[in-house]
Amino acid sequence: MADYTKMWTELGLDLDNHDALLENLGGAYQSIFMSQEKRPEGMGYFDFVMSEAHGLRIQELRDEQEAGRKIIGSFCVFVPEELVLAAGCTSVGLCAGADFAQEEVEKVLPRNTCSLIKSFFGFKLGKVCPYMEASDLIVGENTCDGKKKSFETFSQLVPNFYQMDLPQNKAPMARKLLKHEYMAFVAKLEEMTGKSISLEDLKQGIATVNAKRNALARLSKLRSADPSPISGLDALLINQIAFLDNPARFTEKVNVLCDELELFVKENKGVKAVKAPRVVISGCPMAIPNWKVPAIIESTGAVIVGEESCIGERGQRNTTDDSSDTLDGLIDAVVDRYFKIDCAVFTPNQERVEHIKEMAKNTNADGVIHYGLQFCQPYIMESFSVEKILEKDGVSVLRLETDYSQEDMGQLSTRVEAFVEIIK
Amino acid sequence: MRHAGIDIGSRSIELVVIEEGKVIVRKQAESGYNPVERVEELIADISFDKVMATGYGRASLEIAFDYSTVTEIKAYGIGAAALHPGIRGILDIGGQDTKVISLNENGKVFKFEMNDKCAAGTGKFLEMMAVTLGYKQETFGLEALKGQEGIEINSMCAVFAESEVTSLLAKGCQRADIAMAIHQSVCRRAVGMIKRQDLKAPMLFAGGVANNSCMIHLLQQTFGDDIVIPESPQFVGAYGAAILAGSL
Ligand code: SF4
Ligand code: SF4
């Protein structure tokens, strides 16, 4: 990697902390990803992106800024990338997947807060996330109580915070609220860039994002083959990178990989043995570098064939209808697309269980592992009904509750291994 | 053909060797600080053709001797079903964790639950309380049976329970009564896990704590004949592993 010290200093990163983080990440990446056998060649690109996630990609973002583009950082799949692109801005995901500077975090947040929230606070307080520091605007959304309350504190830590309200049910009024919020977001983007979004801009934005989602859907579909042509870890990585990379380039590379995987499927080539136990992961988002549970699952010889998660299916399912020829009509289409997201903060949320069932069926899964972050009420509460309903349908479910620490590796391994023995 | 099963737990290691379906060796040792060495000692004068390791320390045996491994959940399931055909549930209270396992009509595991990281409700908890009360491990259950019911221990955390016990003693409560209360609190937790998972009868009570007569008494109070106590409850996992070794 080139020397980016100057850039990191300019961004205001704490270089010692940052080195520590990169070292950790690099080590984990080597042992978890590079040690996998029979990886497709197309993964080379994603390995490269990961290795340059704090380097070249940040350089690119800074070059874009130089040329007048704004960088919009967000924590949730409810912040529409279509609108961001239409305004001539670039969208990056900030959701963080590792513990950092926890002592600092616990000065401002209760200990019993989910790891995900603590993590983005830690990244800010430890000054280690170049995406956060490079963002011209950070969008926080009112989803779970943990996030929306923590944003009150977070907004004091960053100079460029924007809060978006979100509905929590699927009533007609709720859809109106979502539209209202998206219009306000558009206004904010327009104010920042000093120009208004045209019909053409939004068409273009939608086209770019639809293409990305179609490529990811193509990847998902290929995983239903037995043997699966790609490991769950690699597929998760791609889904994680979807939030960081340039969307057009990313789409192209996913499609290149899919071409290769199609050949694999034709030749019955797979990453794991034929008839390896197949698992769908469902639940909380898994942001980079949260690879703990997937790594444990695949180390048992099982293969993950789908992620019912915001970093995965939930975030990428459904495209936006681009047929309208009025701007308002297109915004409506965007609202419709996002209104279908079945995040556990919605109540009731029957669609999610249906989606999990459907995924388990389409991927020929033998079981579902429900992943919940400790103290995440929405997902953990929902995990009980998910378990009940799926089991009634004959699908085995294992509920896991964990955080970003490594303390419970032994316990988790035993649970996962025993579950894999059951579904074999 | 001789098949061995080794269950390497946090507190103790059990070895079972079977030949023609009959148990010919049953040995136990404390895990100590170097369980791998302990296992070496345990098998030093024993011969077998195939071996399978299970339990919390199974990975260390896989690394040290390249043994095949199986989780304790499956090993207990297989062992229990072989010992008592028709068994539908297992309560296993071991040194460090408590498990509840459901079996289907064919003796296959289909669901399980384990306690979390802490010692609440495990053998370790009983061990610590015995020390606080000045009882010997082996007689703790018998002594507790002499106690009257009526006191309640509210804390499930070993550390807090210890201070609860100390203050009960200071108040002049009878040692045996407190011992009874401690067993009741462990039992309550086990019953809770069993009910939550809707275990079917008959159930097998396995693991080291199944040697404790007060725990047996209390569980039978709740479940009557639905709960079965095997002859050597702490060997169920090793036995299951030995059976599985045969299919290697
Ligand atoms: S889980 Fe909910 S709040 Fe979190 S990213 Fe997904 S939609 Fe947003
Ligand atoms: S993981 Fe759960 S608690 Fe944490 S931010 Fe997401 S929805 Fe909220």
Instruction: Give me the pLDDT at residue A400, please.
Output: 97
Q: Can you tell me whether residue B95 is helix, strand or coil?
A: coil
Judgement on whether residues B1 and B60 belong to the same structural domain of the protein:
yes
Find the CATH number of the domain harbouring B186: 3.30.420.40
- Chain B contact probe: residue of A417, A420, A423, A424 with most B CBs at under 10 A: A417
Closest by CA to B202, choosing from B60, B105, B88, B90, is B88
Is A116 near ligand 2, meaning CB less than 6 Å away? Answer: yes
Lining residues, ligand 1, CB within 6 Å: A 76-78, 143, 285, 310, 341, 343, 345
Cα(A322)–Cα(A331) distance, rounded to whole angstroms?
10
Judgement on whether residues B100 and B209 belong to the same structural domain of the protein:
yes
Judgement on whether residues B151 and B239 belong to the same structural domain of the protein:
no
Chain A residues near any Cβ of chain B (below 8 Å): 396, 407-408, 410-411, 413-415, 417-418, 421-422
Query: A214-253 burial, b for 16+ CB within 10 Å, e for fewer?
Result: ebbbbbbebbbbbbbbbbbbbbbbbbbbbbbbbbeebbeb
In this complex, how many residue pairs, one in chain A and one in chain B, have their CB atoms less than 8 Å apart? 33
Token pair 């009257």 is found at B148
Pair B73, B242: CB distance under 8 Å: no
Instruction: Give me the pLDDT at residue A225, please.
Output: 96
CA dihedral B86, B90, B94, B97 (to 10 degrees): 150
pLDDT at B116 over 80: no
Instruction: Give me the pLDDT at residue B192, please.
Output: 93
Token pair 């009634």 is found at A392
B73:A407 CB<8 A: no
Judgement on whether residues B94 and B21 belong to the same structural domain of the protein:
no
Q: Which of B110, B114, B116 is nearest residue A422 as measured by Cβ atoms?
A: B110
3-state secondary structure B179-218: HHHHHHHHHHHHHHHHHHCCCCCCEEEECHHHHCHHHHHH
Is A378 near ligand 2, meaning CB less than 6 Å away? Answer: yes
- C-alpha A273: how far from its chain's center? 28
* Domains held by chain B: number: 2
A80 cis-preceded (ω within 30 degrees of 0): no
Pair B247, B28: CB distance under 8 Å: no
Closest-approach residue (CA) in chain A for B103? A422
Judgement on whether residues B70 and B183 belong to the same structural domain of the protein:
no
**Percentage above 90 pLDDT, chain B:** 89
| For the CA of A378, the nearest ligand | 2
pLDDT-based confidence at residue B119 (cuts at 50, 70, 90): confident
Token pair 């999610």 is found at A352
pLDDT at B201 over 80: yes
On average, the pLDDT of chain B sits at 94
Number of Cβ within 10 Å of residue A359's Cβ equals 24
User: Which range marks the domain in which residue B216 is found?
Assistant: 88-229
Judgement on whether residues B102 and B141 belong to the same structural domain of the protein:
yes
Cα(A215)–Cα(A262) distance, rounded to whole angstroms?
13
Query: Smallest CA–CA separation between B71 and chain A, in Å?
Result: 6
Residue A55, both tokens: 């380097």
Instruction: Give me the pLDDT at residue B94, please.
Output: 87
Instruction: Give me the pLDDT at residue A95, please.
Output: 80
3-state secondary structure A84-108: HHHCCCEEEECCCCCCCCHHHHHHH
Instruction: Give me the pLDDT at residue A110, please.
Output: 97
Burial of residue B148 (number of CB atoms within 10 Å: 0-12, 13-18, 19+): exposed
Could you read off the pLDDT of B126-142 as tens digits, one per residue?
Answer: 999 999 999 998 999 99
Is A100 near ligand 2, meaning CB less than 6 Å away? Answer: no
User: A341 CA distance to ligand 1 centroid (A)?
Assistant: 9
A421:B117 CB<8 A: no
Cα(B23)–Cα(B40) distance, rounded to whole angstroms?
20
Ligand 1 atom 5 nearest Cα: A76
Q: Can you tell me whether residue B98 is helix, strand or coil?
A: strand
Cα(A384)–Cα(A386) distance, rounded to whole angstroms?
5
Ligand 1 atom 7 nearest Cα: A343
Cα(B107)–Cα(B85) distance, rounded to whole angstroms?
7
* Residues near B171 by beta carbon (within 8 Å), at least 6 away in sequence: none
The arrangement of strands across the sheet holding B2-8 comes to B22-30, B12-19, B2-8, B50-54, B68-69
Ligand 2 atom 3 nearest Cα: A376
Instruction: Give me the pLDDT at residue B236, please.
Output: 97
Residues in chain A predicted with pLDDT less than 70, given as ranges, are: 1
Distances (CA, A) of A350 to A357, A389, B200: 11, 10, 30
| For the CA of A77, the nearest ligand | 1
Instruction: Give me the pLDDT at residue B84, please.
Output: 96
Q: Which atom of ligand 1 is nearest to the CA of A345?
A: 2
- Chain A contact probe: residue of B71, B73, B76, B112 with most A CBs at under 10 A: B71
pLDDT at B96 over 90: no
Is A114 near ligand 2, meaning CB less than 6 Å away? Answer: yes
Pair A111, A123: CB distance under 8 Å: no
| Mean pLDDT, residues B97-126 taken together | 89
* CA Rg value for chain B: 18
Q: Could you tell me whether strands B50-54 and B68-69 are parallel, antiparallel, or unpaired per DSSP bridges?
A: parallel
Q: Which of B71, B108, B116 is nearest residue A414 as measured by Cβ atoms?
A: B71
Judgement on whether residues B133 and B162 belong to the same structural domain of the protein:
yes
Judgement on whether residues B185 and B215 belong to the same structural domain of the protein:
yes
Instruction: Give me the pLDDT at residue A1, please.
Output: 64
B56:A414 CB<8 A: yes
Instruction: Give me the pLDDT at residue A214, please.
Output: 98
pLDDT-based confidence at residue B117 (cuts at 50, 70, 90): low
Judgement on whether residues B123 and B16 belong to the same structural domain of the protein:
no
Residue from A74, A75, A76 whose mutation best tests the ligand 1 pocket (most atoms within 8 A of CB):
A76
- Our separate counts of H helices and E strands in chain A read 19, 8
Judgement on whether residues B67 and B104 belong to the same structural domain of the protein:
no
Closest-approach residue (CA) in chain A for B96? A411
Judgement on whether residues B109 and B224 belong to the same structural domain of the protein:
yes
Could you read off the pLDDT of A75-132 as tens digits, one per residue?
Answer: 999 999 999 999 999 999 998 899 999 999 999 999 999 999 999 999 999 999 999 9
- For B100-138, the DSSP string reads EEEE-TTS-EEEEEE--SS-TTSHHHHHHHHHHHT--GG
Is A118 near ligand 2, meaning CB less than 6 Å away? Answer: no
Q: Which of A407, A408, A421 is nearest residue B71 as measured by Cβ atoms?
A: A421
Pair A201, A244: CB distance under 8 Å: no
* Residues near A139 by beta carbon (within 8 Å), at least 6 away in sequence: A72, A73, A74, A75, A79, A162, A163, A164, A185
Could you read off the pLDDT of A221-247 as tens digits, one per residue?
Answer: 999 999 999 999 999 999 999 999 999
User: B229 CA distance to ligand 2 centroid (A)?
Assistant: 44
Q: Which residues pair with B22 in a beta bridge?
A: B19
Cα(A74)–Cα(A139) distance, rounded to whole angstroms?
5
B:39-58 residues touching chain A, CB 8 A cutoff: 56
Burial of residue B173 (number of CB atoms within 10 Å: 0-12, 13-18, 19+): middle
Judgement on whether residues B40 and B9 belong to the same structural domain of the protein:
yes
Residue A173, both tokens: 């009024």
